[in-house]
């Protein structure tokens, strides 16, 4: 019971310092009980309250720790504000960690999802400054979306959303990002407070112009669904446009990230991996040093080989940003776990010398698979020293 109450405080405590102190108590309780067994797995793409997620940075680390994962990683959208708390929590739990950030850029006039990795801890403030424009674009787009949803509500109901209240409930004032998903989640909570879940809710959102996908019908019909508000928000935001958001051209972003010692990874869809060689080649020519892909992809091994051939690092993309997504063993992770350890080792090396990362020309190993082995060893050895 003492441990359960402490775990709850990781979520409810408003101050990072209090969450960190509570985590220390939890780890001491676990150590007395024999500790938590670690498995060969990792969750390196977890969003926190500094973008859209129910998890505080400390809580996100705890979830990975409690699942027996030796490696955890943060990946908030356009924000690095949760990284310092995340690092403190990971060290308390004895976990290796990576610091990532999700953003978007424009390639050929198209908005694409990108992960930023390889940022040394002393470069976090510089990364925050670099992403400031994207955070502002996101805030403006979220406010516009709120106005659009209020216009829809006005046609049927008397209640409305308050954008300032939505924004104040996020970590926006502390460097976090307020997103359109925050607005849709507030919209879903408002509807759930007024409309009966299930068939009446589906009828309601249809009357407002949202047509739910067939595959989403079971969770929207289930009145006892514990994640109903998240699922409803996700469904209504599925086709939300981002035409109002003006993001940086990728070539410029890539250049700025390299100045900070980091690198950009393209967030790929499974269908794009079908032509492993062709897709990897196109990404390399565009300027990417890495790719994120779902570890359940059937073509993962072939694509990993195609990436290594081009000095690119393939990393897992199993993004957690809601309580529906679990910290579980991921299918296929074993095939690229060495790459994850190389990412950990890369950041450890950068924290010692900002020039000696996995993509640095100063590293003695010439073949990329040898570089992966070298930095994976650094990552594994570093984890033993924590």
3-state secondary structure 40-106: CCEEEEECCCCCCCCCCHHHHHHHHHHCCCCEEEEEEECCCCCHHHHHHHHHHHCCEEEEEEEEEEE
The pairing of beta strand 313-316 with beta strand 42-46? unpaired
Q: How crowded is residue 208: how many other Cβ atoms within 10 Å of its Cβ?
A: 15
As a whole number of angstroms, the distance between CA 243 and CA 61 comes to 34
Closest CA to 274 of 248, 294, 302: 302
Q: Can you give the pLDDT at residue 361?
A: 78
Contact between 272 and 245 (Cβ < 8 Å): no
**Exposure of 317 in the CB half-sphere (CA atoms within 13 A):** 22
Place of tokens 């049927």: 156
Q: Can you give the pLDDT at residue 83?
A: 97
User: pLDDT of 262-286, one tens digit each?
Assistant: 999 999 998 999 999 999 999 999 9
Q: Can you give the pLDDT at residue 385?
A: 52
As a whole number of angstroms, the distance between CA 349 and CA 357 comes to 6
Residue 53, φ and ψ in degrees, nearest 5 = -175, 150
Q: How many residues does the chain have?
A: 386
Give pTM, 2 decimals: 0.94
Q: Can you give the pLDDT at residue 226?
A: 95
User: pLDDT of 138-153, one tens digit each?
Assistant: 999 999 999 999 999 9
- What pLDDT tens digit does each residue of the chain (386 aa) get? 589 999 999 999 999 999 999 999 999 999 998 888 877 789 999 999 999 999 999 999 999 999 999 999 999 999 999 999 999 999 999 999 999 999 999 999 888 999 999 999 999 999 999 999 999 999 999 999 999 999 999 998 999 999 999 999 999 999 999 999 999 999 999 999 999 999 999 999 999 999 999 999 999 999 999 999 999 999 999 866 655 567 789 999 999 999 999 999 999 998 999 999 999 999 999 999 999 999 888 889 999 999 999 999 999 998 999 998 888 867 677 789 999 999 999 999 999 876 688 998 777 667 999 999 999 999 999 854 55
Q: Can you give the pLDDT at residue 75?
A: 97
As a whole number of angstroms, the distance between CA 239 and CA 348 comes to 40
Place of tokens 């996908």: 213
Contact between 178 and 139 (Cβ < 8 Å): yes
CA 235 to chain centre: 19
List the end-to-end C-alpha distance of the chain, in Å, as a whole number.
29
């Amino acid at each position: 019971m003492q441990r359960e109450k402490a775990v709850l405080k990781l979520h409810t405590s408003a101050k990072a310092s209090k969450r960190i102190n509570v985590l220390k108590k939890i780890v001491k309780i676990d150590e007395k009980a024999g500790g938590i067994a670690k498995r060969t797995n990792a969750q390196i793409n977890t969003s926190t309250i500094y973008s859209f997620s129910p998890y505080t940075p400390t809580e996100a680390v705890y979830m990975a720790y409690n699942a027996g994962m030796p490696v955890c990683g943060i990946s908030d959208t356009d924000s690095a504000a949760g990284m310092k708390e995340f690092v403190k929590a990971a060290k308390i739990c004895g976990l290796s960690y990576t610091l990532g950030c999700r953003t978007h850029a424009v390639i050929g006039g198209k908005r694409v999802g990108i992960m930023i990795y390889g940022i040394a801890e002393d470069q976090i403030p510089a990364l925050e400054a670099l992403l400031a424009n994207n955070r502002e674009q996101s805030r403006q787009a979220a406010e516009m979306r709120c106005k659009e949803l209020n216009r829809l509500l006005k046609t049927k109901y008397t209640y409305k959303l308050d954008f300032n209240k939505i924004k104040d409930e996020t970590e926006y004032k502390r460097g976090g990002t307020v997103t359109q998903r925050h607005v849709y989640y507030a919209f879903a909570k408002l509807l759930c407070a007024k409309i009966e879940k299930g068939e009446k809710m589906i009828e309601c959102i249809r009357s407002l112009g949202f047509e739910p996908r067939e595959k989403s019908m079971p969770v929207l019909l289930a009145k006892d669904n514990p994640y109903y508000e998240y699922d409803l928000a996700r469904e209504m935001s599925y086709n939300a446009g981002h035409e109002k958001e003006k993001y940086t051209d990728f070539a410029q972003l890539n250049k700025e990230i390299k100045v900070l010692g980091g690198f950009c990874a393209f967030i790929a869809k499974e269908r794009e991996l079908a032509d492993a060689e062709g897709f990897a080649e196109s990404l390399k020519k565009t300027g990417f040093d890495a790719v994120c892909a779902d570890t359940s992809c059937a073509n993962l091994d072939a694509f990993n080989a195609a990436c290594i051939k081009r000095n690119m690092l393939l990393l897992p993309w199993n993004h957690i940003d809601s309580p529906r997504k679990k910290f579980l063993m991921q299918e296929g992770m074993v095939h690229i776990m060495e790459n994850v350890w190389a990412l950990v080792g890369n950041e450890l090396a950068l924290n010692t010398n900002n020039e000696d990362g996995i993509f640095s020309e100063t590293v003695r190993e010439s073949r990329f698979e040898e570089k992966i082995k070298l930095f994976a060893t650094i990552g594994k050895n570093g984890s033993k020293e924590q």
